[in-house]
Amino acid sequence: MSKPALQRYRVLAQIGFFALFTLTPIFDLFRYDLTEKHAYFLTMPWHLGIDDLIAGRVDAGAAALNLVLYLFLPVLGTLALIVGVAWKWGRLYCGWLCPHFSVVETINRLMLAATGKHSVWDRNKTPPWEPDGSPARRDKRYWLLVVPAAIGFAFAWAVVGLTYLMPPFQVYGGLLTGTLYRGEVIFLSAATTVLSLEFLFARHLFCRYACAIGIFQSFAWMGNKQAMVVGFERERLTDCASCLDGKGSACDAVCPMRLKPRNVKRWMFACTQCGQCLSACGTVNKDNPNGALLHWVKNDEARRNEARFSVLSNTDEDAGGKI
């Protein structure tokens, strides 16, 4: 699979999962209804049996069995699947499916066009051209899109989040007719405010330090020395030094998590395996007969890559782990 094709497929996966995230409560594929006090799964009511236990319709043994079958096993099974995938391939869910991360990348791109930086917290601007050598968009007027996009995504997230808790058609109908309940208005107002601030100021920081799903994936990935990781051909460091005419590194410039992809694995703790660094490196080196310097590696090759990096990077610790 070529690198541009890789990114096209990733964007399609993100769009598809974002649509699924939005439509799931509408079709009762999965949600908890606060008005009916039970969940829905694949259009069917999902009861844990607590109400039946309180009403005396079932005994404690049957209620406990319901909890195991309909709560603990599904939750643990889902977590096992996520951790199992992360153990072998890293944070694929984050980079390829997560609807929050797709918002992070979208606002990053708009802020990059407005300021030359992915985030207000970045110290330095990225080089003013793309990996293929074309000029990068830089115009302060993009701020007119950054703020509305953050607020718009925040409101959309708040609405979708509410439909996971209240009847979806009641929520959307209330929005259209202006007849939302007081509690729904409070929820939407508070959620939109918090999410707007997060999307504007703490997008990738939330992914790196606050997202429980992301952190558990990172722990699983770090625990497997043979897991898929971005490998760097360090012996070709001179080719890397000429990247973007020596004004910066294309892989550093495109990373939405603001990582340095040529680092050892422990410094890439929050890598989402989005592959944008590989795509950028491949584009920059498209005319290089030796090809790109960054590649996904796994199994024994990943173990050897990490061992080699660890030895070579010991002298770089004082420089913040830069390679």
The model's pLDDT over 235-246, given as tens digits with 9 standing for 90+, comes to: 888 777 668 766
| Residue 178: C-alpha distances to residues 156, 164, 173, 191, 307 (Å) | 16, 20, 8, 18, 61
pTM: 0.86
196 pLDDT more than 70:
yes
Residues 151-178 pLDDT 10s: 999 999 999 999 999 999 999 999 999 9
Pairing, β 30-33 against β 44-46 = unpaired
Average the pLDDT over 1-28 and give the result. Answer: 89
Average the pLDDT over 87-106 and give the result. Answer: 96
User: Which residues make Cβ contacts (< 8 Å) with residue 179, sequence separation at least 6?
Assistant: 173
Pick the closest to residue 203 from 98, 96, 281 (CA basis).
98
**What pLDDT sits at residue 47?**
83
**What pLDDT sits at residue 323?**
42
**What pLDDT sits at residue 247?**
67
Integer Cα distance of 18 and 94 in angstroms: 12
**What pLDDT sits at residue 245?**
67
**What pLDDT sits at residue 102?**
95
Integer Cα distance of 251 and 247 in angstroms: 12
Residue % of the chain over a pLDDT of 70: 92
Average the pLDDT over 39-62 and give the result. Answer: 81
**What pLDDT sits at residue 6?**
86
Q: Contact 154/189 with Cβ under 8 angstroms?
A: no
Average the pLDDT over 66-71 and give the result. Answer: 83
Residue 294 pLDDT class (50, 70, 90 cuts):
very high
**Between residues 263 and 49, the one the model is more confident about:** 263
**What pLDDT sits at residue 149?**
97
**What pLDDT sits at residue 134?**
85
Task: For the chain, give every domain's residue range.
Answer: 212-319
**What pLDDT sits at residue 112?**
95
**What pLDDT sits at residue 224?**
94
**Between residues 127 and 14, the one the model is more confident about:** 14
Q: Which residues pair with 46 in a beta bridge?
A: 39
Residue % of the chain over a pLDDT of 90: 62
